[in-house]
Amino acid sequence: MARKFVLAPDNQVARTSLTINYQDELNPQQYDVVTSGAGPSLVVAGAGTGKTRTLIFRVAYLVETGVPPDHILLLTFTRRSAAEMLNRASQLLDGRCQRVRGGTFHAYALSILRRHAPSIGYPRNFTILDSGDSADVIDVLRTASGFHKSDKRFPRKRTIYSIISACSNGEQDVAEVVADKYPQFVDMIDKIGILREQYHQYKLTHGLMDYDDLLSKTVLLFENNRALRDSESARCRHVLVDEYQDTNRLQARMVAHLASVHRNVMAVGDDAQSIYGFRGADTKNIFQYPEIFEGTTIYKLEHNYRSTQQILNLANTLIEQSTVRYDKKLFTEKPDGELPAIVGAADDQYECRFVCQMIMRLREEGIPLHRVAVLFRNSHNSFGLEIELNRRNIPFIKFGGLKLNEAAHIKDVLSYLKILENPRDAVAWTRVLQLLPGIGPKTAADLVEWISSRGSEAFELTGRSHSPRYIDGLKKLFNMLRAASVTTISLPRQIEMVLEYYDPILKEKYYEDFPKREQDLEQFASLTDQFKDRESMLSSMALDPIELTALDADGEEKDEQPLVLSTIHSAKGLEYHTVFVIQALDGVVPSTYSLKEPGGLDEELRLLYVAVTRAEENLFITYPMVQYRRFQGDYMVRPSRYLDEISDAILEPWTLVETPTPSSQKLLS
DNA sequence: TTTCCCAAGCTTTTT
DNA sequence: GCTTGGGAAA
Per-position DSSP letters for A256-288, written without gaps between them: HHHTTTT--EEEEE-GGG---GGGTB-THHHHH
Nucleotides of C under 7 A from a protein CB: 1, 4-6
Q: How far is the CA of A518 from the C1' of C9 (A)?
A: 33
pLDDT higher than threshold 90 for residue A324: no
Which pLDDT band, with edges at 50, 70 and 90, does A145 fall under? confident
pLDDT higher than threshold 50 for residue A347: yes
Q: How far is the CA of A384 from the C1' of B4 (A)?
A: 35
Full DSSP string of A566-628 = EETGGGTT--EEEEEE---BTBTTTBGGGGTSTTHHHHHHHHHHHHHTTEEEEEEEEEEEEEE
Q: What is the distance between the alpha carbons of residues A575 and A52, in angstroms, rounded to a whole number?
A: 11
Which pLDDT band, with edges at 50, 70 and 90, does A456 fall under? low
Q: Where are the beta strands (DSSP E) in A381-491?
A: 396-399
pLDDT of residue A318: 93
| Beta-strand pair A615-629/A576-581 | parallel
**A51 closest CA partner among A258, A240, A334, A265:** A240
In this complex, the nucleotide whose C1' atom is nearest to the CA atom of residue A380 is B12
Sign, CA dihedral A111-A114-A116-A120, equals positive
Q: How far is the CA of A488 from the C1' of C3 (A)?
A: 41
Which residue approaches B12 most closely, CA to C1'? A378
Structural contact between residues A170 and A280, judged by C-beta atoms closer than 8 angstroms: yes
Query: What's the Rg (C-alpha) of chain A?
Result: 27
pLDDT higher than threshold 80 for residue A551: no
In this complex, the nucleotide whose C1' atom is nearest to the CA atom of residue A154 is C5
Instruction: Give, in degrees to the nearest 5, the angle at Cα A202 between A200 and A108.
Output: 60
Specify the pTM: 0.89
Other Cβ atoms within 10 Å of A337 Cβ, number: 17
Tell me what the mean pLDDT of segment A556-566 comes to: 77
In this complex, the nucleotide whose C1' atom is nearest to the CA atom of residue A566 is B13
Strand B closer than 7 A to residue A642 Cβ: no
Q: How far is the CA of A539 from the C1' of B7 (A)?
A: 39
pLDDT of residue A11: 53
Other Cβ atoms within 10 Å of A454 Cβ, number: 14
Strand B closer than 7 A to residue A443 Cβ: yes
Q: Residue-wise over A344-368: b if at least 16 C-beta within 10 A, else e?
A: bbeebebbbbbbbebbeebbeeebe
Instruction: Give, in degrees to the nearest 5, the angle at Cα A100 between A96 and A104.
Output: 150
DSSP lists the bridge partners of residue A248 as: A281
In this complex, the nucleotide whose C1' atom is nearest to the CA atom of residue A135 is C4
Q: What percent of chain A stands above pLDDT 90? A: 44
Which pLDDT band, with edges at 50, 70 and 90, does A376 fall under? very high
**A344 closest CA partner among A627, A647, A624:** A624
Strand C closer than 7 A to residue A630 Cβ: yes
In this complex, the nucleotide whose C1' atom is nearest to the CA atom of residue A607 is B13
In this complex, the nucleotide whose C1' atom is nearest to the CA atom of residue A437 is B2
Q: How far is the CA of A600 from the C1' of B10 (A)?
A: 20
pLDDT of residue A454: 77
Q: What is the distance between the alpha carbons of residues A308 and A234, in angstroms, rounded to a whole number?
A: 44
Which residue approaches B13 most closely, CA to C1'? A569
Tell me what the mean pLDDT of segment A441-458 comes to: 81
- Relative orientation angle of helices A491-509 and A534-543, to the nearest 10 degrees: 50
If one compares A257 and A143, the residue with the highest pLDDT of the two is A257
Q: What is the distance between the alpha carbons of residues A506 and A523, in angstroms, rounded to a whole number?
A: 15
Which pLDDT band, with edges at 50, 70 and 90, does A10 fall under? low
Full DSSP string of A200-211 = HHHHHHHTEEEH
Tell me what the mean pLDDT of segment A53-68 comes to: 91
Helix locations, A276-337, DSSP H? 284-292, 309-320
Strand C closer than 7 A to residue A96 Cβ: no
Other Cβ atoms within 10 Å of A480 Cβ, number: 18
Strand B closer than 7 A to residue A549 Cβ: no
pLDDT of residue A555: 47
pLDDT higher than threshold 90 for residue A254: yes
Q: What is the distance between the alpha carbons of residues A526 and A565, in angstroms, rounded to a whole number?
A: 24
A268-294 pLDDT, tens digit per residue, is 999 899 999 888 888 888 888 999 898
pLDDT of residue A400: 82
pLDDT higher than threshold 80 for residue A647: yes
Q: How far is the CA of A19 from the C1' of B15 (A)?
A: 37
**A165 closest CA partner among A198, A213, A117:** A213
pLDDT higher than threshold 60 for residue A195: yes
**A433 closest CA partner among A453, A449, A422, A421:** A449
Phi-psi region of A432 (alpha: psi -120 to 50; beta: other; left: phi over 0): alpha
Which pLDDT band, with edges at 50, 70 and 90, does A366 fall under? very high
Strand B closer than 7 A to residue A444 Cβ: yes
Instruction: Give, in degrees to the nearest 5, the angle at Cα A367 between A366 and A373.
Output: 160
**A529 closest CA partner among A499, A495, A489:** A495
| Beta-strand pair A633-636/A615-629 | antiparallel
Q: How far is the CA of A630 from the C1' of B8 (A)?
A: 17
pLDDT of residue A630: 61
Q: What is the distance between the alpha carbons of residues A25 and A667, in angstroms, rounded to a whole number?
A: 63
Tell me what the mean pLDDT of segment A583-601 comes to: 87
Strand C closer than 7 A to residue A148 Cβ: yes
Tell me what the mean pLDDT of segment A585-606 comes to: 87
pLDDT of residue A553: 47
Q: What is the distance between the alpha carbons of residues A67 and A38, in angstroms, rounded to a whole number?
A: 12
- Residues with Cβ within 8 Å of A386's Cβ and at least 6 positions away in sequence, in order, are A396, A398, A549, A565
Q: What is the distance between the alpha carbons of residues A357 and A629, in angstroms, rounded to a whole number?
A: 26
Strand B closer than 7 A to residue A95 Cβ: no
A395-415 pLDDT, tens digit per residue, is 888 888 778 888 888 889 999
- Residues with Cβ within 8 Å of A463's Cβ and at least 6 positions away in sequence, in order, are A454
Structural contact between residues A386 and A565, judged by C-beta atoms closer than 8 angstroms: yes
> Tell me, what DSSP letter sits at residue A632?
T
Strand B closer than 7 A to residue A539 Cβ: no
Tell me what the mean pLDDT of segment A127-132 comes to: 90
Residues 118-147 of A with CB under 7 A from strand C: 135, 139
pLDDT of residue A141: 87
> What mean pLDDT is reported for chain A?
87
pLDDT of residue A172: 86
Q: What is the distance between the alpha carbons of residues A579 and A48, in angstroms, rounded to a whole number?
A: 14
Strand B closer than 7 A to residue A145 Cβ: no
Structural contact between residues A246 and A278, judged by C-beta atoms closer than 8 angstroms: no
Nucleotides of B under 7 A from a protein CB: 1-3, 10-15
In this complex, the nucleotide whose C1' atom is nearest to the CA atom of residue A604 is B13
Q: What is the distance between the alpha carbons of residues A15 and A539, in angstroms, rounded to a whole number?
A: 41
Strand C closer than 7 A to residue A629 Cβ: no
Strand B closer than 7 A to residue A106 Cβ: yes
Q: Which helix (H) or strand (E) holds A374?
A: strand A372-376
Q: What is the distance between the alpha carbons of residues A337 and A560, in angstroms, rounded to a whole number?
A: 27
Strand B closer than 7 A to residue A452 Cβ: no
Tell me what the mean pLDDT of segment A526-540 comes to: 88
Which pLDDT band, with edges at 50, 70 and 90, does A242 fall under? very high
pLDDT of residue A633: 66
Tell me what the mean pLDDT of segment A470-491 comes to: 90
pLDDT of residue A81: 83
Q: What is the distance between the alpha carbons of residues A55 and A52, in angstroms, rounded to a whole number?
A: 5
Q: Which helix (H) or strand (E) holds A341?
A: strand A341-347
Q: How far is the CA of A509 from the C1' of B4 (A)?
A: 14
Strand C closer than 7 A to residue A334 Cβ: no
Q: How far is the CA of A631 from the C1' of B6 (A)?
A: 20
Q: How far is the CA of A620 from the C1' of B4 (A)?
A: 50
Q: How far is the CA of A578 from the C1' of C3 (A)?
A: 38
